[in-house]
Amino acid sequence: MDRPLKIDELLCFSVYSVNHAISRLYRPLLAPLGLTYPQYLVLVALWDRDHRRVSDLGAELQLDTNTLTPLLKRMETAGLLTRQRNPEDERSLIVTLTENGRVLEHKATELTACVLEAMGGDIEELSALRDQLHALRDKLEQR
């Protein structure tokens, strides 16, 4: 295939494009909670496992501290979490959800249902797509 590819033929563009579409889908749903989409992803990670270091969060979300530090500071200001130096190792910072941050998990459940519905509602199909994307991500990361 030597012919130059059109934009809609590029897998990378379809990923780019779907990512923005998803972000636009979440925006109005998250706005009433005072959350941005990346902030919501941080919360999802913290709801699962709390009281952990910034670098742990970063490893899971694939984000470095140059992104996470200001993001977490905004979330701290919003009263969703606390940032405390680890007494065992003063270099590291422990991120812990506040009651406010924990409570949002309930509201997020409806949100997930809403997103699922917007995506067509076929869980089998969407799970398969997710697994293919994970496989692709792993391929890209192992380089």
Q: Which of 109, 38, 102, 108 is nearest to 71 (CA)?
A: 38
H-helix or E-strand containing 83? strand 81-86
Residue 87's alpha-carbon distances to 2, 90, 92, 94, 96, in angstroms, are: 59, 6, 9, 10, 14
Token readout for 90 is 């003063």
Site for a second copy in 35-94 (CB under 8 A): 41, 44-45, 47-48, 60-62
- Pick the stretch among 58-66, 103-111, 117-125, 126-134 that binds DNA (CB under 7 A): 58-66
Interface residue with a second copy among 31, 59, 103, 133 (CB under 8 A) is 133
Least separation in angstroms between CB 15 and a second copy = 5
Torsion of CA 90, 102, 72, 84, to 10 degrees: -20
- The order of strands in the sheet holding 89-97 is 52-53, 89-97, 81-86
Q: Counting contacts by CB under 8 A, is residue 103 touching a second copy?
A: no
Residue 44 interaction partner, one of DNA, a second copy, none, beta carbon < 5-8 Å per kind: a second copy
β-bridge partners, 81: 97
Q: Which amino acid is at 65?
A: T
Q: Nearest approach, Cβ of 66 to a second copy (angstroms)? A: 14
Residues binding a second copy (CB under 8 A): 1-2, 4-22, 24-26, 41, 44-45, 47-48, 60-62, 105, 108-109, 112, 115, 118-120, 123, 126-127, 129-130, 132-134, 136-137, 139-141, 143
Residues at the site binding DNA, with contacts judged by CB under 7 A? 16, 20, 23-24, 27, 36-39, 53-55, 58, 62-72, 74, 83, 89-93
